Amino acid sequence: MRIMAAKKVFSTSIDLNAIKALKHLAVDTDKSLGRLLEEAISDLVEKYRKELKNDSNA
């Protein structure tokens, strides 16, 4: 069971082709655009946390 976190509206400009690809992915995976964006942001944050941790240990 996933607990819903507090949500906040976030607005930005994104490349039109990226938006189209994301919309197609949302249909193909039966996930909302918001859910896919949250997943991508979470993955990106984790990636950079690991990189920064590795850099500080070097």
Domain extent listing, the chain? 34-58
The pLDDT value given to residue 57 = 83
Cα dihedral 41, 25, 14, 32 sign: negative
Q: What's at 52, amino acid-wise?
A: L
Alpha helix positions (H), the chain: 16-29, 33-57
Mean pLDDT of 19-34: 97
Closest by CA to 35, choosing from 56, 4, 1, is: 4
Single pTM value for the model: 0.79
Q: How confident is the model at residue 14 (pLDDT cuts 50, 70, 90)?
A: very high
Instruction: Give the rounded distance of the alpha carbon of 40 from its chain centre.
Output: 2
Distance CA 54, CA 11 (A): 32
